[in-house]
Structure 1
Amino acid sequence: MGTMIRQHVVVHGMVQGVGFRYSARQQATRLGITGFARNQQDGTVELEIEGGSAAVERMLDWLRSGPRGAVVESVDTSELRPTGDDDFRITF
């Protein structure tokens, strides 16, 4: 599984109103990623993703394109300390 890592992610572009958070949760579940996704008032989607380093990299790759209907312009990331979340949730 590799070292557990956690990333703070902000996805910019047309990423609200296209099912981005729900699709991200499905992808995270497939990859064994925990954390959360939420819409921000500025139109971005903010996530924290935690898992094995390879799984987090695959999740970041997915976030760079998102689901059908999304137009991802950029993805900002920063490292965080893992928290040991046990699921991936959508927060409001």
Structure 2
Amino acid sequence: MRKHVIISGRVQGVGFRRSAQVKAKEMDLNGWVRNKDDGTVELEVEGQEEKLNAYLQDLDKGLNKFIRVEQMYVTNKENNGYDSFQTR
């Protein structure tokens, strides 16, 4: 299963991408994360559904004390077959 996510809030300049990458690797999830010009962060992540749901809950809580997630837009996608999790 793969999810495409757009996250808004205080998510740039606070270590969000690195934290998201570390958490994904800990949970054996693959995909990518990147900053967007509009101040949001975009990511795609794939793996087992239970792990994906737990990962999204962790993202929503903020992965460190500087991150503040205001909204997450999540859509389901077909698997792409990513073999790692990368920051773009």
Query: Shorter-chain TM-score category?
Result: over 0.9
The reply to whether residue 73 of structure 1 matches residue 70 of structure 2 is yes
Identity of aligned residues (%): 39
In 1, distance between residues paired with 2:3 and 2:75? 6
Question: In the alignment, what sits opposite 2:11?
Answer: 15
Contact 1:7/1:77 (CA < 8 Å) preserved in 2? yes
- Where does residue 33 of structure 2 map in the other structure? 37
1:47 to 18, 43, 49: 43
Instruction: Name the CA distance, whole Å, in 2 between partners of 1:52 and 1:75.
Output: 20
Q: Distance in 1 between matches of 2:31 and 2:62?
A: 17
Instruction: Report runs of 4+ in structure 1 exceeding 4 Å deviation.
Output: none
Aligned residues: 87
1:67, distance to aligned residue in structure 2 (A): 2.1
RMSD: 0.6
Instruction: Please report the TM-score for the alignment, with normalisation by the length of structure 2.
Output: 0.96
Structure 1, unaligned runs of 5 or more: none
1:61 aligns with 2:52: no
